[in-house]
Structure 1
Amino acid sequence: MTRRSDLADAAIETIAAAGMRGLTHRAVDRSAGLPEGSTSYYFRTRQALLQAVVERLAELITAEIPALPVTDLDAAAEAITTIIEIGATTGRSRHLARYELILEAVRRPELRAALTASWAVVQEAVAEQLAALGLADPRRRAVDLLALLDGLLFDAIAGTGDRDLAGTGLRATVQALLTAVTRPDPASRA
C-alpha cells in the first residue's frame, strides 16, 4: 500500500469515529500514527483529502464485487449476503464513513460530484455481473439493486436493530431483493 492509501484509510477511520466535523488533517495524522503535517503534505486541502477518501472507498467496495458468481442467482445471493455481513461487521467503519460523506454531499456539490463519479464505478461493476446473468437493462437493475442493498446495510449499521440480519434472515432478505430486481419487467412482456 502507498502512503496516500494509508492516509485515506486513516481518514476513513477518523470519519467513522468522529464524523465529518472530526475530520482534520491533524486527526488523520494521529489516526495514522504519523508526525503532524504528514496528511497536509499529501493532501493540501480538505477537499483533496475528501477526494482521496471517496476514491479509496470506491476502490475497497469494488474489490469485493468480482467475488460475486455470475452463473446462478442463489450463489449470487449467498455472495451478496457475505458482503453485507462483512460491511456490517469488519467493514462497518468504511460504510459508516461513506454514509457520513453522502450526507455531507447534500450541502457540498463538489463532494457530490466526487461521490457520484466513484459510485458509478461500483454500479458498472455490478451491471457487468448482472449482464453476465443475461438480464435485460443491467445498468438500471444494478442501480436498483445497489440502492436496495445499501438501504439494508444502512439499516444494519445505523438502524433500530429490529431486522434479523443474522444468517438465514439476512440471506432470505437478500434473496427476495435479488429476485425482485432480476424479475422480468411487466412492461417488457407487452
Structure 2
Amino acid sequence: MTRKQDLLDRRQELADAAIATLAREGMRGLTHRAVDRFAGLPEGTTSYYFRTRQALLQAAVERLAELTAAELQLAPIADPDDLADAAAAVVESWLTSGRDRQLARFELSMEATRRPELREVLRASGASVRAEVAGLLARVGVPDPARRAAVLVACVDGLVFDRLVGAGSADDDPAVLRTVIRTLLA
C-alpha cells in the first residue's frame, strides 16, 4: 500500500470512529480523544489528521455522504415497485445495521443549525443525495423527479427519525416499509 493510501485509510477509519462516537455519545461526547479511544489509537492521532473540531465534523459528514451514495447505487431498477422495494431495503438497513450512522447524521444535522460552516457541508451532501434519488426516479419514469426526490428524501428522513427515536410507530416490518415507500412514490 502506498503512503497516500495509508493516510486515506487512516482518515476514513477516524471518520468512522467519529460517526460511532457521535451515535453513542452525542455531539458533546465527540472529542478528538474520544475518537482516539474508540478507534483504539494513541492519544493525539485524531488531532494529527483533523486539527480542528470543524475538520473532524466535516470528515464525519463527508464519510456519511460517501456511505449513503454507495447505498444508493442500487441494482437495475425497472419500475416504481422495484424502486420501492430497493428503497425499503435501504431504510431497513438504516434502522438496523446502519442505525449508528443515522443517529450520527441527525446529531450533525442538529449541530448544523448552529454552525453555518457545517450547514454548508451538510447542504452539499444533501443536494448530492437528492440528485441521486432524482436520477433513480427519472429512470423509472416518475414525473418531475427533482421535486419528487426532495419530497421523498424529506419523508424518508422523517420516517427514519421517527423510528430511531421511538416517537411513533415501532413497526419496522419490511413489508410495512415497502408500503410506506410505495405510497410516497405514488
TM-score (norm 1): 0.90
**What is the match of residue 3 of structure 2?**
none
Aligned match of 1:142: 149
Question: Distance in 1 between the 2:142 and 2:181 partners?
Answer: 18
Q: Name the structure 2 match of 1:51.
A: 58
Aligned with 1:10 (options 14, 17, 20): 17
Contact 1:10 1:32 in 2 (8 A): yes
C-alpha distance 68-154 of structure 1, shift in aligned 2 (>3 A) = farther
The alignment covers a number of residue pairs equal to 179
For 1:144 and 1:161, the matched residues in 2 are separated by 20
The correspondence for 1:119, drawn from 110, 126, 132, is: 126
Distance 2:26 2:170 in 1: 25
Q: Which residue of 1 aligns with 2:79?
A: 72
Q: Percent identity?
A: 58
**Equivalents in 1 of 2:114, 2:103: separation in Å?**
18
Q: Root-mean-square deviation (CA), in Å?
A: 1.3
Is the counterpart of residue 166 in structure 1 residue 169 in structure 2?
Answer: no
Q: Does 1 or 2 have the higher relative contact order (CA < 8 Å, sep 6+)?
A: 2
- Displacement of 1:100: 0.5
Structure 1: stretches of 5+ with no match in the other structure:
180-190
Contact 1:28 1:39 in 2 (8 A): yes
Name the CA distance, whole Å, in 2 between partners of 1:105 and 1:7: 20
CA separation in 1, counterparts of 2:28 and 2:18?
12
CA distance in 2, matches of 1:7, 1:111: 18
SS, match of residue 36 in structure 1: coil
AA aligned to 1:40 is: S
Could you list the structure 1 runs, at least 4 aligned residues long, displaced by more than 4 angstroms after superposition. Answer: none
Specify the SS of the correspondent of 1:67: coil
Unaligned runs of 5+ residues in structure 2 are 1-7
**Mapping for residues 16-35 of structure 1, pairs under 5 Å:** 16-35=23-42
Which residue of structure 2 aligns with residue 85 of structure 1? Answer: 92
